[in-house]
Structure 1
Amino acid sequence: MRKRITQSIAILALIIASFQLPAVEYLDGIVAVVEDDIILESELAEEVAGVASKLKANNVQMPPDHILYKQVLERLIIGKLQSQLAEKAGVKVTDEMLESSMSGIARQNGMDLASFKQEIQEQGMSYATFKESVRKEIVINQLRNHEIGSRVKVSEQEIDHYMETEISSADRRVKYFLGHILISVPEGASATTIQTEEAEALSVVKQLREGADFKQMAISVSDGTNALQGGELGWRTLSQLPTLFVDVVKTMSKGDIADPVRSPGGVHILKLIDSTGVVSYMVTETQVRHILIKTNELINDEDAQKRLLAISGRIADGDDFAALAKANSDDTGPALNGGELGWVTPGLLVPPFEKAMSELEINEISEPVQTQFGWHIIQVLGRRTKDNKEQQERNQVRDEIRKRKIEEETELWLRRLRDEAYVDIRLEALNE
């Protein structure tokens, strides 16, 4: 069997080489049939080349060829299945959404979009290919939100219970950098199969504790979605981890390899790579009020601005802002309270409104400001710095419980999606 594997992988290795030699031509065969779609040798080879390049850049030892190709092929299969499901569900990404995401990625890297595009090209990557990969990622994220996120709810009682019983305030300030290996166990597996997988997990733990490289081991044996990233889960608080990991991680020291942790999906092996961090909860709140004029078939943008400028003039002449808000504002709820929105925290209001508000001095009235709701004049009545710890913690816990639930559901959903799909792997070496 080893000889057949070597021969089959050698064929794909030649294909990878052909990406460096454009003049070489080869017959692009089918590696796998995935429902009503296919994966070509060239797709697999290109993906393997990309993964191999990243591993090399991170100084991670390459796993045996047949393991690398199998891991990459499984990732391509899962990607195809999700793309097919997204198409059936009508999930689409507009050009505006894609451009906004690309600009966001550029900002995260400290560049504008033009500089980021140039940087991508200078690294030998096709910007169009990178952009397409981002589009696919957005589609898959939207699909997962549609299939999983919409079903996941977090109640106030869950938040209360979580904060009271699971993680202390001090614990929530700490962030952990974890490595993760999953030895999967199929649903409905026999006792013999379960024992075999658990024995494999114990063997992996033993090798790791004896000095085996964790990243290399994850790439070679892990069935987790982060296998090709060396099993790294990144920086997370305890509340961002799956529930069954929490008690284990709290007892670990840097560099520790935990005993295997059993779950319905398989056996998990954890390494604590690092830990750090203290979170600040101080925020600046703004007390603000406004008057809104909405545009419609009778009132255009120019008319709305003129009305607001006239109102501003009356306020400057001594008329009461609150009385004018009650008489003129189209934001009917706050208008009854003199246009007041109360004390607001950063991020609560739409960006154009918040930007204008942040630039005002106390009691100053803005020029007319346009948002998607219409035209506003804004007055800041006060600012204060507040320890928003309790509310921030509740918001954080809500988000983290939701993320945890989504992560746990996603693992099961992907496994079910794969198990129920028609997949025919044509490359013999990867089908054994």
Structure 2
Amino acid sequence: MSAFLTMRTTRLHLPALKTHHIKLAAALLCAVAAGDVLAQAATRPAAPAAKPGAAAPAAAPAPAAAAAAKPSTGFLPPASSDAKVIDSVYVIVNDEVITKREVDLRVAEITQQARASQAQLPDADTLRRQVVESMITQRAQIQLAKEMGVRVDDTTLDRAIGRIAEGQKMSVQEMRNQIEKEGLTFAAFREQIRNEIMTQRLVEHEVDSKLQVSEAEIDTYLAAEKAAAADRVEMDLAQILVRIPENASPEQIAARKARADEVARQLRTGADFGKMAATYSDAPDALKGGAIGWREPERLPTVFSTELRKLKAGQVTPVVRTNVGFHILKLIDVRPLKSAAQQAEQAVVEQTHARHIMMKVTPAMNEDEVRKRLLDFKAKIEAKQANFEDIARQSSQDSYASKGGDMGWLFPGDTVPELEEAMKTLKPGEISGVVKSQFGFHIVQVIERKSEDVSKEKERSAARQVLTERKRGEALEDWSRQIRDRAYVEFREDK
């Protein structure tokens, strides 16, 4: 399972990890702003090694001293029981150092994870350069966050760590025990999480707050998306998965492969796919005949989409290997993909036009007196002895008083829950009993109701989100590059 994890300050979203991956998660949590090293390897050539800049300080700080002065923002190696182990300065980033051991550990962890997920890696020198560049950028971002006064208090940090532990289905103490068992101190883990939150807050201030999407951009996107959808398809799929056990031996993998091959052979000779899935598949959808529904091939892993595009409806793929196991997919049917506008379900919501009178308890009027007065108002209005709007203007104690208590057209959720619940029981023209809310005591009258289709608003909102994420990716890359370019970087050891 991938350990290239994403964490936000407003929420932590971490997929469930095997316990032996917790250390790796900690090591890589700070990779969000700098980007995934594997993604860099796949999308652009390696950056050349930076040349030494200005003259180095007369004496570079010893790694231990630097670590004491400022906590490391990258992977912190476990405390060694061997006092003779000597680390060396690998690169200086402004006034901090990244040690050779930190680099070696990061490279080793990424290599191990890539092999487990069968991801492609560049050659060793290129990978090392990319890892170092990522660590430099991360370090420079943390330094900038501290310079700008970005802070993460212990309460926020404790909550974040609590959410991480909850995501791993363990208590904080259990997670701490596992982390320390695998050689990483819990203090180092906390510091890495703190640094990630600091970085994300910095990104929100420096990048996210400046992103804007115009209505014209949304119009252009929707038009292009509609045109592109004409040439795109979606596929109705089913699958059979022969899962590979965790930490499987070569013999176990071979046995599972043989099982998948036998299933494929039977399918080629006419066996029913649904029955085979129910009998042999380890996937959750096995009892549904392996059905996984309609999917866009562009949203599937490349190893699947490549094979599926070769098929006609009713055909099955050969056995496909992933880090999860051995898959056989069936292409049940193909249909043109609808555009976002076509896919948008009609979203009809009911709006309520209402008005109210609100009064508060005061030293001169207790709760019983407030309730009695509101009920008197209701009785006079219903007896046509008084007008709702006039009483609201004279007696209501809120900002709607000047409008005769008219709150306008309300969508669900626009007002406090107590008023909303009261309005649901009223017919147009009816007045509620006394309703208590956090603001005071009310009587509310429903004037009229109408239904409105908001699917267009939903469609435009989705388009805005896509465009914002697209702009964010570009802006984040540019910003990260600027941070890296402004940093004083000096390599102190040949790679």
Question: TM-score, normalization: structure 2?
Answer: 0.47
Provide the residue aligned with 1:342 in structure 2.
409
The alignment covers a number of residue pairs equal to: 304
Question: Aligned-pair distance for 1:33?
Answer: 0.8
Read off the aligned partner of 2:147 and give its amino acid letter: K
- Between the aligned residues of both structures, percent identity stands at 28
Provide the residue aligned with 1:392 in structure 2.
458
Q: Matched residue of 2:471: which SS?
A: helix
Provide the residue aligned with 2:425 in structure 1.
362
Give unmatched runs, 5+ long, in structure 1. 1-17, 176-248, 258-273, 295-301
Q: Matched residue of 1:76: which SS?
A: helix
Provide the residue aligned with 1:24 in structure 2.
82
1:150 equivalent to 2:205? Answer no
| TM-superposition CA deviations, 1:356-385 (whole Å, max 9, x none) | 567665346786444xxx567596959988
Provide the residue aligned with 1:255 in structure 2.
305
* Distance in structure 2 (CA, Å) of the matches to 1:63 and 1:87: 34
The 1:61/1:164 distance shift into structure 2, 3 A limit, reads closer
Read off the aligned partner of 1:332 and give its amino acid letter: S
Read off the aligned partner of 1:255 and give its amino acid letter: S
The answer (yes or no) to whether the contact 2:94–2:488 under 8 Å persists in 1 is yes
Question: Aligned-pair distance for 1:122?
Answer: 6.1
Read off the aligned partner of 1:33 and give its amino acid letter: I
The 1:105/1:170 distance shift into structure 2, 3 A limit, reads farther
The answer (yes or no) to whether the contact 2:433–2:443 under 8 Å persists in 1 is yes
* Distance in structure 2 (CA, Å) of the matches to 1:404 and 1:317: 58
* Distance in structure 2 (CA, Å) of the matches to 1:404 and 1:280: 24
Read off the aligned partner of 1:148 and give its amino acid letter: V
1:401 equivalent to 2:451? Answer no
* Distance in structure 1 (CA, Å) of the matches to 2:106 and 2:399: 56
Question: Aligned-pair distance for 1:410?
Answer: 1.6
| TM-superposition CA deviations, 1:37-69 (whole Å, max 9, x none) | 222344435544554564465454776554444
Bigger radius of gyration among the two: 2
The 1:316/1:35 distance shift into structure 2, 3 A limit, reads same
The answer (yes or no) to whether the contact 1:32–1:40 under 8 Å persists in 2 is yes
Question: Aligned-pair distance for 1:79?
Answer: 1.0
Read off the aligned partner of 2:478 and give its amino acid letter: L
Read off the aligned partner of 1:338 and give its amino acid letter: G
Question: TM-score, normalization: structure 1?
Answer: 0.53
| TM-superposition CA deviations, 1:5-56 (whole Å, max 9, x none) | xxxxxxxxxxxxx957841232232221112222234443554455456446
* Distance in structure 1 (CA, Å) of the matches to 2:371 and 2:202: 47
* Distance in structure 2 (CA, Å) of the matches to 1:110 and 1:174: 37
The 1:120/1:78 distance shift into structure 2, 3 A limit, reads same
Question: Aligned-pair distance for 1:339?
Answer: 5.2
Read off the aligned partner of 1:409 and give its amino acid letter: A
* Distance in structure 1 (CA, Å) of the matches to 2:233 and 2:158: 35
The answer (yes or no) to whether the contact 2:351–2:452 under 8 Å persists in 1 is no
Read off the aligned partner of 1:120 and give its amino acid letter: M
The 1:152/1:336 distance shift into structure 2, 3 A limit, reads same
Residue pairs, 1:47-62, within 5 angstroms: 47-48=106-107, 50-52=109-111, 54-55=113-114, 58=117, 60=119
Provide the residue aligned with 1:117 in structure 2.
172
Read off the aligned partner of 2:481 and give its amino acid letter: R
Q: Matched residue of 1:340: which SS?
A: strand
* Distance in structure 2 (CA, Å) of the matches to 1:359 and 1:169: 44
Question: Aligned-pair distance for 1:318?
Answer: 5.6
The 1:399/1:323 distance shift into structure 2, 3 A limit, reads farther
Provide the residue aligned with 1:74 in structure 2.
133
| TM-superposition CA deviations, 1:381-426 (whole Å, max 9, x none) | 5998864211111222223222222211221222232233221122
The answer (yes or no) to whether the contact 2:218–2:464 under 8 Å persists in 1 is yes
The 1:32/1:19 distance shift into structure 2, 3 A limit, reads closer
Question: Aligned-pair distance for 1:335?
Answer: 6.0
Provide the residue aligned with 1:417 in structure 2.
483
Residue pairs, 1:32-431, within 5 angstroms: 32-48=91-107, 50-52=109-111, 54-55=113-114, 58=117, 60=119, 65-95=124-154, 97-98=156-157, 101=160, 109=167, 115=170, 117-118=172-173, 120-121=175-176, 123-124=178-179, 129-167=188-226, 255=305, 282=347, 287=352, 311-316=370-375, 319=378, 326-327=393-394, 331-333=398-400, 336=403, 338=405, 340=407, 342-345=409-412, 353=416, 362-363=425-426, 368-370=436-438, 387-429=453-495
The 1:37/1:401 distance shift into structure 2, 3 A limit, reads same
Provide the residue aligned with 1:226 in structure 2.
none
Q: Matched residue of 1:403: which SS?
A: helix
The answer (yes or no) to whether the contact 1:31–1:425 under 8 Å persists in 2 is yes
The answer (yes or no) to whether the contact 1:292–1:329 under 8 Å persists in 2 is yes
**RMSD across aligned positions (CA):** 5.0
The 1:88/1:318 distance shift into structure 2, 3 A limit, reads same
Q: Matched residue of 1:153: which SS?
A: coil
| TM-superposition CA deviations, 1:182-239 (whole Å, max 9, x none) | xxxxxxxxxxxxxxxxxxxxxxxxxxxxxxxxxxxxxxxxxxxxxxxxxxxxxxxxxx
The answer (yes or no) to whether the contact 1:293–1:329 under 8 Å persists in 2 is yes
The answer (yes or no) to whether the contact 2:106–2:131 under 8 Å persists in 1 is yes
The 1:165/1:64 distance shift into structure 2, 3 A limit, reads closer
Question: Aligned-pair distance for 1:169?
Answer: 10
Q: Matched residue of 2:152: which SS?
A: coil
Q: Matched residue of 1:255: which SS?
A: helix
The 1:110/1:123 distance shift into structure 2, 3 A limit, reads closer
Read off the aligned partner of 1:24 and give its amino acid letter: D
The 1:343/1:104 distance shift into structure 2, 3 A limit, reads farther
Greater percentage in helix? 1
The 1:90/1:338 distance shift into structure 2, 3 A limit, reads same
- Which one is further off, 148-157 or 72-81? 148-157
The answer (yes or no) to whether the contact 1:154–1:401 under 8 Å persists in 2 is yes
- Which one is further off, 331-340 or 145-154? 331-340
Read off the aligned partner of 2:457 and give its amino acid letter: Q
The 1:327/1:399 distance shift into structure 2, 3 A limit, reads farther
